[in-house]
Amino acid sequence: MNDSTNRRKVPPLRIGDLVIDPPILQAPMAGFTNAAFRHIVREFGGAGLLATEMVNARGFVWLDENEAEHPDRLWGVADEPRPLAVQIWDNDPETMAKVGRRLAEEYRVSVVDINFGCPVRQVTEKAHSGSYLLREPNRMHAIISRLVEVCAPTPVTAKIRLGCNRDNINCNEIAHVVEEAGAAALTVHGRTAADMFRGNADWDRISEIKSHLRNIPLIGNGDLDSAEKVVAAFEQYDVDAVMIARACLGRPWLFAQAAAALRGDPVPPEPTLAEQRDVMLKHYGLVVDRFGEEKGTVLMRKYACCYAQGKHGARYFRTHVAKVSTPEEFHSVVEEYFPLRDPKEEVESATAS
């Protein structure tokens, strides 16, 4: 981290005509990356491209045909700042095309991203979508090429895993298919679908994919949880950009830290624990504004756990916050249990005295 003067500047990411600078992306995460979370990420800065949760294309079409409201997961999308990617999933090219066209023309999103990585049974076994499609390259090609056709000039991207399982790693072959079908970028999470989140992401495999792409950029994803790791990913692996998922959930300032490190600037310190609590309270306010006090408080439980994760006393906070259902309860649990004492500071003050 100290030899920043020798560091080669990492160029912006180009997705079609879109310039993503810095080339650090916020991953789509179902149940988490809604407009409230994205607002918080945007305020800290450092993320070149933000993404929604994955949106079920079939559900969207159904809602539309039944004159219901648009999917909840598109909350905020029409109005918030760009660039913004919306991720969609299904296995039918025409259904995907219907939704892709609307996202491009009506919502004017910056990128339409396709989910070919979700390993959850409901999506794979029940709907033959997400990572299930990695075993059907022809269908992937049909989905991508149809979307590219209807979304143009809005770029279409694909997000995959290495393969369905360790015995069927086919990401190199899939990379060809994705590029050939006209996608403008490929994101790879360096695990197989069967891995779920076990083991480490295989960055050597991610890097190897680069030689199988001719013109489109490669975005690497998996296990990046510090500014140092982001810099190392660019230095050690052949990727054009990186994507951060789980680590940003309780640390939305991570993008700003990683961006500074990439520029060779000093990395901003972690906010103090009191500041982190205030970020969480602001996040809570945004969630309640949208979902109301009751639903918003219940929804906030999982975010609150993320903010506390890894901190001294997080377990007590988690146990209590998991039961809150009113703003009064939420605030009193935060007041009493949100971890505000840094064990390091305690050691330092004990040594000093």
Ligand X SMILES: Cc1cc2nc3c(=O)[nH]c(=O)nc-3n(C[C@H](O)[C@H](O)[C@H](O)COP(=O)(O)O)c2cc1C
Interface with ligand X by CB under 6 A: which residues? 27-32, 53-54, 87, 115, 117-118, 159, 189, 221-224, 244-247
- The C-alpha atoms of residue 334 and residue 172 are separated, in whole angstroms, by 47
**How remote is the C-alpha of 288 from its chain's centroid?**
22
Least separation in angstroms between CB 56 and ligand X: 10
**Which residue, 164 or 273, has its beta carbon nearer to ligand X?**
164
**Which residue, 221 or 297, has its beta carbon nearer to ligand X?**
221
**Which residue, 91 or 221, has its beta carbon nearer to ligand X?**
221
Question: For residue 145, what are its two tokens?
Answer: 């090429």
Least separation in angstroms between CB 193 and ligand X: 11
Residue with tokens 């049974």: 121
Return the sign of the alpha-carbon dihedral for residues 54, 149, 69, 37: positive
Return the sign of the alpha-carbon dihedral for residues 95, 97, 102, 103: positive
CA distances in angstroms from 294 to 133, 151, 157, 297, 329, listed in the order given: 38, 38, 37, 5, 11
**Which residue, 120 or 340, has its beta carbon nearer to ligand X?**
120
**Which residue, 32 or 132, has its beta carbon nearer to ligand X?**
32
Which residue in 103, 61, 43 sits closest to 255, CA to CA?
43
Largest CA distance in the chain: 70
Burial of 343 from C-beta contacts in 10 A (0-12 / 13-18 / 19+): exposed
**How remote is the C-alpha of 215 from its chain's centroid?**
24
- Within a 10 A sphere around the Cβ of 301, how many other Cβ atoms? 16
C-alpha count within 13 angstroms, C-beta hemisphere, residue 188: 36
Least separation in angstroms between CB 319 and ligand X: 21
CA distances in angstroms from 291 to 35, 275, 282, 285, 324, listed in the order given: 12, 24, 14, 10, 15
**Which residue, 95 or 273, has its beta carbon nearer to ligand X?**
95
**Which residue, 222 or 296, has its beta carbon nearer to ligand X?**
222
Least separation in angstroms between CB 54 and ligand X: 3
Q: Amino acid letter at 101? A: R
- The C-alpha atoms of residue 304 and residue 327 are separated, in whole angstroms, by 13
Q: Which residues are catalytic?
A: 118
